[in-house]
Structure 1
Amino acid sequence: MFTSAQAPSAFNMSKALSISPGDGEAERAALNGAAALGDAAGRGWSGVRRIEHRQQIELGPGLQFAFATENIALPTQWTLEHAQHTLIVHLDGPMRRLETRIDGLGRLRAAPAAGDWWLIPAGRRYLGRALGGEIAYAELTVDPAGFAAAAPGAGDGAGLAARMKHRDPFVHGLAARLAHLSGAGDDLAAMLRESLGQALYLHLLREHGGGAAARAVSAEARLNEAARRRVEDYIHTHLDRRITLDELARLSALSTHQLLIAFRHAFGMTPIQYVLAQRLLRVCRRLRDSADDIATIAVENGFSSHSHLSAVFKKRYGLTPRAFRLQG
């Protein structure tokens, strides 16, 4: 699995997800592991990390996502303890042995299947020891203060419960999709990542924390007429530029969590669906009414290239922009 030893007060997403203790720390880590997981856990773990790939992205204030692949052919040990809630999802790869412990929850010895996940609440200590092959995993970190800010009426219902080797197809699906999108650079992919991150955030809050928090978010998430006009005008004016959920949330005076709910109430679709639909409508008008080069039309309507527009256009309409133009 999955992640590195961290100071209790901070988590630096710019570093590798799994970092072995430095010289002089290995003996202390082994002793800690032996105390928590039994004598076997403190022997033979690897001091060399083999991170094959990693990608970290911001999904919004207090919400960060990372995807990584790592080779654990040698016995490997991880520790984690910091001020954020941490969700770790095993996505792929063989793990012949895994021992995990979360303070207050106990110990588990069981190799994970794809989709199994661990949830470590803020301030809890996690210890893990693994052996296998090349694995892929995702990690979401959440600032606990964000729960209270997103749902001020939720009270103590905004906490998250510790989980080990838990299964939830919704969490697995969102984590896998976020991992797939982690390297995409266009604004539609960025908006989709943020939307999926917020959906995962609210799902955890409702299903694995306090449902009152999610209900409080929903109760306050509405766009009044003035806010709706501001958001709509901004989108139509900036279809050729990068549009973010943070910008739309500021215009509507809502949090990002609330915006996603309020936008669907107001427009009947998500922000990314609306932006994409408006861009494609404008592209259709340009294809019909002008002889402009398709690559130029693509860039001037927020698509990264001719090929990007063609892929999205064909998926939506069943034909390429050129074929659409030829058909008149």
Structure 2
Amino acid sequence: MFTSAKVRCAFNMSDALSISPRAGEAERTGLDGAAALGEAAARGWARQRRIERRHELELGPGLQFAFATENIAEPTQWSLEHARHTLIVHLDGPMRRLETRIDGAGRLRAAPAAGDWWLIPAGRRYLGRALGGEIAYAELNIDPVGFAALAPGLGENAGLAARMKHRDPFVHGIAARLAQLSEAGDDLAAMLRESLGQALCLHLLREHGAGAAARAAPAPAPVRLAEPARRRIEDHIQAHLDRRITLDELAGLGGLSTHQLLIAFRHAFGLTPIQYVLAQRLRRVCLRLRGSADDIATIAVENGFSSHSHLSAVFKKRYGLTPNEFRRQG
């Protein structure tokens, strides 16, 4: 479960999510006192780790997400220390023993349940020792500069507090949903992942920030799209329904950050960007189904869907019938 090879200044998502010490190193790098898993565990740390699968992706500037499954049937040690905030969520799988330590936050010896999570502030050292079965976990790495920019009025209070074996259904739910979406390649899934990442960061800032009390400060005026920006965004979407559309490009058209765009877009259009783009694509598909004899695979690809089957699944979920059935009914 717990994260990448030790990095001090920059995080490389291609690194392994955690490392086991070389032979004999376990005793030298142990947590204060005796080894959590005993001498037998220490002797086993030199064995090969087994990461079954891993998916890594960018959720936006300074925000990276990874979902992985790993076999920890052999005693395993994890080490982390780098310049980003790190959130690790245990999603599934048995862990019989776990001992964790975060500098400045103490040490905890308790096996996790699904939904438990750890939060390691930037620059803090984390050590963990574990033994169990095949586990699944999610990891979010957050650039502190971008994180602080979400709430510029908080200044130094925009940091995060260390957490060990914490529970928060909102954090668990978003991490699990991001894990489900980690392999999806369409642009709507990408926008949804980015939106969820923004929501998770804001939630952490508000509920688990080092200066959470500062949230009582007066809220800034809500962001709004000026009419020219609204038209630019609308025209851009209509002109590019056949290709990938990202939140970054929509935000650039409005002169906003992606977080500001999500707020302003809903106010201007009454929908999120994902909902609006999907609605426009389906509207155009319906027009093509009614007004042409083009095959459905062609209509799907020319309106931003990856295949006939992708369009059919989305279409039936929205309208209760397949594109073929829709066309037959006139």
TM range (shorter): over 0.9
Give SS of 1:307's match.
Answer: helix
Deviates more, 1:137-146 or 1:253-262: 253-262
Give SS of 2:152's match.
Answer: coil
Q: How far apart, in 2, do the equivalents of 1:75 and 1:231 lie?
A: 53
**Structure 1 residues 216 and 18 mapped into 2: Cα distance closer, same or farther (>3 Å)?**
farther
Unaligned runs of 5+ in 1: none
Matched AA of 1:243: I
Q: Which residue of 2 aligns with 1:8?
A: 8
Q: Which residue of 1 aligns with 2:249?
A: 247
Q: Which residue of 2 aligns with 1:304?
A: 306
**Structure 1 residues 249 and 215 mapped into 2: Cα distance closer, same or farther (>3 Å)?**
farther
**1:216-254 deviations in whole A, cap 9, x for unaligned?**
896453212121111111111110110001111111111
Q: How far apart, in 1, do the equivalents of 2:215 and 2:26 lie?
A: 37
Give SS of 2:104's match.
Answer: coil
**1:115-143 deviations in whole A, cap 9, x for unaligned?**
00000000011110000000000000000
Matched AA of 1:232: E
Please say if residues 8 and 82 of structure 1, whose CA atoms lie closer than 8 Å, have aligned partners that are also in contact.
yes
**Displacement of 1:153:** 2.2
| Aligned residue pairs, count | 324
Q: How far apart, in 2, do the equivalents of 1:150 and 1:217 lie?
A: 13
Task: From 279, 284, 287, give the equivalent of 1:285.
Answer: 287
Please say if residues 84 and 122 of structure 1, whose CA atoms lie closer than 8 Å, have aligned partners that are also in contact.
yes
Q: How far apart, in 1, do the equivalents of 2:169 and 2:227 lie?
A: 37
Q: Which residue of 2 aligns with 1:185?
A: 185
Please say if residues 206 and 214 of structure 1, whose CA atoms lie closer than 8 Å, have aligned partners that are also in contact.
no
Q: How far apart, in 2, do the equivalents of 1:306 and 1:16 lie?
A: 37
Task: From 317, 320, 323, give the equivalent of 1:318.
Answer: 320
**Runs of 4 or more off by more than 3 Å in structure 1?**
26-30, 37-42, 210-220
Q: How far apart, in 1, do the equivalents of 2:191 and 2:35 lie?
A: 47
Please say if residues 31 and 127 of structure 2, whose CA atoms lie closer than 8 Å, have aligned partners that are also in contact.
no
**Displacement of 1:34:** 3.6
**Displacement of 1:5:** 3.4
Q: How far apart, in 2, do the equivalents of 1:238 and 1:154 lie?
A: 38
Deviates more, 1:233-242 or 1:147-156: 147-156
Q: Which residue of 2 aligns with 1:32?
A: 29
**Structure 1 residues 320 and 253 mapped into 2: Cα distance closer, same or farther (>3 Å)?**
same
Unaligned runs of 5+ in 2: none
Q: Which residue of 1 aligns with 2:203?
A: 203
Please say if residues 67 and 137 of structure 1, whose CA atoms lie closer than 8 Å, have aligned partners that are also in contact.
yes
Q: How far apart, in 1, do the equivalents of 2:133 and 2:172 lie?
A: 21
TM-score, normalised by the number of residues in structure 2: 0.93
Q: How far apart, in 1, do the equivalents of 2:168 and 2:99 lie?
A: 20
Q: Which residue of 2 aligns with 1:105?
A: 105
**Structure 1 residues 214 and 83 mapped into 2: Cα distance closer, same or farther (>3 Å)?**
farther
Q: Percent sequence identity over matched residues?
A: 79
TM-score, normalised by the number of residues in structure 1: 0.94
Q: How far apart, in 1, do the equivalents of 2:180 and 2:146 lie?
A: 26
Q: How far apart, in 1, do the equivalents of 2:147 and 2:219 lie?
A: 10
Q: CA RMSD in A?
A: 1.9
Q: Which residue of 1 aligns with 2:194?
A: 194
**Displacement of 1:64:** 0.3
